[in-house]
Structure formats: structure tokens, C-alpha cells
Amino acid sequence: MPSLIALVLAVQAAAQAPAPPARLTTLKQEAVQDVANRAQFTQQMVDQIFSYGELGFQETETSRYLVDVLRKNGFTVREGIFGIPTAWVATWGSGKPVISLGSDIDDIPQASQKPGVACHLPLIEGAPGHGEGHNSGQAVNITAALAVKTLLVREHLPGTLQIWPGVAEELVGTKAYFVREGLFKDVDIVLFSHVDDNLATSWGDISGNGLVSALFTFQGRSAHAAGAPWRGRSALDAVELMDIGWNYRREHLRLQQRSHYVIRDGGDQPNVVPPTASVWYYFRELDYPHIQEMFAIGDTIARAAAMMTSTTLASVRILGSAWPGHFNKVIAEAMYENIKQVGLPPWTEADQRLAHALQRDIGAPDSGLATRLDTLRPALRPDERRGGGSDDIGDVSWNVPTVTLRFPSNIPGLPGHNWANAISMATPIAHKGATAGAKVMAMTILDLLVRPEVVTQAWDYFRNVQTKDIHYQPLIRPQDRPAIDLNQDIMARYRPAMRRLYYDPTKYRTYLDQLGIAYPTVRAADGSCASGATP
Ligand SMILES: [Zn+2]
């Protein structure tokens, strides 16, 4: 017979040891069931944020709504952090590990679109809309966090959950500041979620680029453009010559680069020689040195354009930046095991009909929705990196072990940053995709909470593999501040009309119901594409 003391010691030792796999399996099953039970809550968050349709730095309704949801569920929230009015951080729990969950919340200019309708029909002509699907990621994270929180309380397990929004991701506008201001300094692991057309994750370098986003402003001198043009010095000429210079020069840059610009200020009216003009560039490359090299070439061309036109380069303002992401092998592998268990959502015939109709309408491969899981993509070799888009989660990923969970709320083969990418985003496709994502997210958080060795091994990869030779240094300069003034004018123009279409879940089960849209609405044989009336 063991003594009572020995028995007590044995019980204590068992309590302190890592939970056996069977216990973890049970906890995961319970979390998955809890997430499934919260499907309507998830749907409401997806639809609500879709209806707000806010551009970067102007996500006031979205943030107010999310902060309210989190406070009602026991989170402590700090709002307006780091001088960014729509940024916040919510925390719950205590002790280690600290698991940080992020997802973007902003949308795309001129992407307003009726959901569930497989052709271009804006809700409001010219207005912004969720043509990237950033209305769904917070629903994934919050649903998962609430399911895990319930288990932590019941099991008396230590651990802190942190939730934050990717404000102005389309402007790669905030995450470098989050890093600089120390948002992640006590964080053990970051789990990011982003909409996609499959349930997937990856590790190693992303195939896309990092970038610097910079606004070049020229100062000239106004004059009567007909009466005394010789007295004027056109700032617009400087912008045009900079663009011409860049367009010639980029033939002789590496193939991995991407660069694009828009003219933000091209003068006021033709009979006034423009005294001010500005052009906004994205300089994208694969790594920090190449991004900085491109930015320096752009700066030289801007100064040369000023010389040619006897204007001055008044300022070069950095509006955003992103490191190219690198995701953690250990966490990605743990997450992928959970992805395999959750699998893709069961799509209905209506879901597939919407997807096929849209794909045919825009000339994309007619594949329908994903029915086979992606494999876990291993690290890309340097020669496999061809360049592409960016996300400032890259900055976070070079400071804390990070992975991105991609979840299947969208339709394959779409152009991105486009009205077509908004079509599924307040339909059962988005709702089921977000629930599947939340299941994987909850299971992965449990892995990190219950198996401390996963966190240790993730840091080992981070320290000894990922950052062995590459050290993070911000692309933002010490004097840079978040560009919180961006998009104020556009939102002011469209918000009154958009407000009338905000989703009211107390009156309507779904946003499709509120809009009176028959699901799916597809183009008829005569070419028409009529949806139900919009109230
Ligand atoms: Zn995005």
C-alpha cells in the first residue's frame, strides 16, 4: 500500500506533468464542438463587419463593434493604442504562455458588391467593400478564443489570450508600429488568420514581397497657365517625369520586384500651374536590402525630376511598410495536423453554383469551391520566390514565432482586391469557412497551452534557424508615424449611404436576408443578373 503522502505527491506530479495526448484530444474535441455551437455568433460577426465595409485607418464601426463583443465576453480592452484611433488590444487570462491572435479588418476602395450575386452589382456605386475578405478573420479568432477560454476556466489552466486587429493592412500601415511600440514583447506565439479559398498553412519564407510605401510630394510655383506660364514651375511635371523615369528604370530591376503608383495630387484645374503635386509608390522586393535599394533608386529619380523642373522635392512620407513574412515550421506542422482533422466544410449545391457561375462570369477556371485540402507547403527555395503581394504580418513574424492560418471563405481563381472577392464574403461559404478556421485555431491554441514543448521548439526554430543570419530592422524610420489621415475623405463621402445598409442581426437572421437576396443569384440565360431589392 502506498502511503497517503506518496499518493498525494504522485497525484500532484501527475497534475503538473504535460497533459497526456488523450486528454488533449478530448479538449480539442470539446473545443471543436463549442465552435460548431457558436456558428451563428460567427456568422453574425462575419456579416456585421461586411456591412460596415470600412477602409484602412477608418475602421471605427468595426472596431467599436469588436471591442464591444470582446468586453461582453470578459476581455480587457485598451482602445486607440499607439496613436491609432481604430487599433486596440484585448486580453484575457493570466500567466504563460501568451498566445496572440491577429487578423486584418479593413477593405478595398470601389469594391462594394452585393453578396451572393455572381456578377458585378455594387451595393453602393463607387463605395468601398470587402473585396479582400477581411471581414471574416476576427470572427475566426474570437470564436476560437471564446471556445478555448471556456476550457481554460473549467480546467484551471494558466495562459493569456491576446487579440488585436490588423488595422489598415491594405496600406501595410500599422503592424511595424505595433512591433515598435512593444505590443508583442511578452508574447510567446502569434497566430494570424487570413481568408483564402482553402484551409491551409505554410512555413518558411512567403513567395511574395515586402515593401516600402512612400508618398513623394513636389513643390512648384503657380501662375496663370495661359497668361504667364513661364512664371510657373509645375509640380505635376515633376510627378510625371518621376513616373517616366521609374517606368524606364524598372526594366533594369530584378524580376522579383513589383512597383506601382497612383497620383494623389495632380493639381486643381488646368488654368493654374500646379504648385503642389504628389505621387504614391509601393516598392516591393524579396528582402530588406533589396527593398531599401529600390526605395533609394526611387528617391534619386524623384530628386532628378525636381531638378529637371526647377521644383523641389518637399517631402518623402512613408505611409506603410512590410517585411516579407517568414512562418514558423513547428507551429505550422502542429496547425496542419489540426487542419487535417477539421477538413473542408461541406459545401451545398447552392454554394457550388455561386462559385461556378462567378468563375464562368469572370473567365476564371471553372473549378467550383475547394473540395481537397492543400498540402502543408514546405519552405520555398530562394529561386522559387517570384515576388507578389505583401502583408505586414511579416514584421511580426520576424519578432515572434508566427504562422498564418488561411481558411476557406472565398472562391478560387479570383483577381483579388476586386468586387468579385466580396461576393462570397457574407454568404454560407464565408460563414462555414470561418467556422472551419475557428476549429483549427482553437485546436492549435490548445496545442500551445497544453504542450509547452511546442512553444519551446517554435522558439528554437525562430532563434536558431529563421533569425540565425537575418536580423529584423524596421523599414519605418524613427520619425515616421501611422498615416491615420488616409481614407478619411472617401469614408466621409460614402458612410451616410453605407450606414443605411448596416446589418441588424436583431431583425434579420443573415445579411442576405436583410438585403432580400435570393441565394445564389446567378446570371440568367438572357444575360440579366437581378438580385432581390435592397432595402
Ligand atoms: Zn489581406
How far away, in angstroms, is 203 Cα from ligand 1 center? 18
pLDDT digits (tens, 9 = 90+) for 462-499: 999 999 999 999 999 999 999 999 999 999 999 999 99
Q: Residue 511 is which amino acid?
A: Y
pLDDT confidence of residue 20: 60
Percentage of residues of the chain with pLDDT beyond 90: 92
Give me ligand 1 centre to Cα 175, in Å.
13
Q: In angstroms, what is the span from residue 131 Cα to ligand 1's centroid? A: 9
CA-CA distance, 118 to 121, in Å (whole number)?
A: 9
Strands (E), 86-149: 88-94, 98-104
pLDDT score of 225: 97
| Mean pLDDT of the residues in the chain | 95
Residue 452 has pLDDT above 60, yes or no: yes
Cell of 38: 457558436
Which residues, in sequence order, are bridge partners of residue 276? 219
Tally of CA atoms within 13 A in the half-sphere of 190 that contains its CB: 31
Asked whether the beta carbons of 293 and 285 are under 8 A apart, the reply is yes
Question: 151 CA distance to ligand 1 centroid (A)?
Answer: 30
pLDDT at 64 (0 to 100) = 98
Q: How far is the CA of 206 from the centre of ligand 1 (A)?
A: 14
pLDDT at 63: 98
Task: Give every CB contact of residue 186 below 8 A, 6+ residues apart in sequence.
Answer: 98
Asked if pLDDT for residue 155 goes beyond 80, the answer is yes
- Gap from CA of 24 to ligand 1 centroid (Å): 32
From ligand 1's centre to the CA of 95, what distance in Å?
Answer: 31
Instruction: Give me ligand 1 centre to Cα 222, in Å.
Output: 41
Question: For the residues 353-378, what does the mean pLDDT come to?
Answer: 96
Q: How confident is the model at residue 4, as a pLDDT?
A: 54
Burial letters 423-462, b for 16+ CB under 10 A, else e = bbbbbbbbbbbbbbbbbbbbbbbbbbbbbeebbebbbebb
Report the separation in Å between the CA atom of 438 and the middle of ligand 1, taken as the mean of its atom positions.
17
**Ligand 1 centroid – CA 194 distance (Å):** 6
Q: Which three cell numbers stand for residue 461?
A: 526554430
Tell me the pLDDT band of 164, cut-offs 50, 70 and 90.
very high
Q: If you average pLDDT over residues 317-333, what whole number do you get?
A: 98
Residue 15 has a pLDDT of 47
CA of 407 to the centre of ligand 1 (A): 12
Distance 127 CA to ligand 1 centre (A): 18
State the distance from the centre of ligand 1 to the C-alpha of 89, rounded, in angstroms: 19
Banded pLDDT at 257 (limits 50, 70, 90): very high
Reference 131, options 54, 61, 42, 192; nearest CA is 54
Q: Are 31 and 449 in contact (CB under 8 A)?
A: no
pLDDT higher than threshold 80 for residue 48: yes
Helices (H) and strands (E) in the chain, counts: 15, 12
> Could you report the per-residue pLDDT of 58-97, keeping only the tens digit for each?
999 999 999 999 999 999 999 999 999 999 999 999 999 9
Instruction: Give 130's pLDDT tier (boundaries 50, 70, 90).
Output: very high
List Cβ neighbours of 338 (8 Å cut-off, separation of 6 or more): 28, 439, 440, 443, 444, 447
Q: Ligand 1 mean position to 391 CA, how many Å?
A: 7
| CA 236 to centroid of ligand 1, rounded, Å | 32
Half-sphere exposure at residue 33, Cβ-oriented, CA atoms within 13 angstroms: 8
Per the structure block, which three cell numbers stand in for 216? 513623394
Calculate how far, in angstroms, residue 274's C-alpha sits from the geometric centre of ligand 1.
36
Where does the pLDDT of residue 532 fall: very low under 50, low under 70, confident under 90, or very high at 90 and above? low
Q: Give residue 377's pLDDT.
A: 84
- Please say if the pLDDT value at position 273 is more than 60: yes
Residue 450 has pLDDT above 60, yes or no: yes
CA of 414 to the centre of ligand 1 (A): 14
DSSP state at residue 464: I
* Strands (DSSP E) found in 247-347: 258-265, 276-285, 312-322, 326-327
In the predicted structure, residue 378 carries a pLDDT above the cut 90: no
H-helix or E-strand spanning residue 39: helix 39-52
pLDDT at 112 over 50: yes
**Residue range 261-287: average pLDDT?**
98
> Is the model's pLDDT at 1 over the cut of 50?
no
Could you tell me the distance, in angstroms and rounded to a whole number, from the CA of residue 367 to the centre of ligand 1? 22
Residue 535 has pLDDT above 50, yes or no: no
> How far, in Å, is the centroid of ligand 1 from the Cα of 285?
18
Please report the pLDDT score of residue 6 as a whole number. 52
Model confidence, pTM: 0.94
Task: Please report the pLDDT score of residue 117 as a whole number.
Answer: 97
Average pLDDT of span 337-351? 98
Residue 134 CA to ligand 1 centre (angstroms): 6
Q: Cβ-count burial of 8 within 10 angstroms (0-12 exposed, 13-18 middle, 19+ buried)?
A: exposed
Binned at pLDDT 50, 70 and 90, residue 21 comes out as confident
Measured CA distances, 177 to 172, 186, 255, 381, 454 (Å): 10, 16, 30, 30, 28
- Given a cut of 60, whether residue 143 has pLDDT beyond it is yes
Quote the ligand 1 centre to 385 CA distance (angstroms). Answer: 19
- Predicted confidence at residue 382, as pLDDT, reads 87
SS (H, E, C) 221-263: ECCECCCCHHHCECHHHHHHHHHHHHHHHHHHCCCCCEEEEEE
* CA 106 to ligand 1 centroid distance, Å: 8
User: Distance, CA 392 to ligand 1 centroid (Å)?
Assistant: 10
Mean pLDDT of 190-207: 96
Q: State in Å: Cα 439 to ligand 1 middle.
A: 21
Q: SS3 of 189, please?
A: strand
| Cα of 168 from ligand 1 centre, angstroms | 10
User: In which band, very low, low, confident or very high, does the pLDDT at 40 lie, cut at 50, 70 and 90?
Assistant: very high
Say whether pLDDT at 339 is over 90.
yes
Answer whether residue 12 shows pLDDT above 70. Answer: no
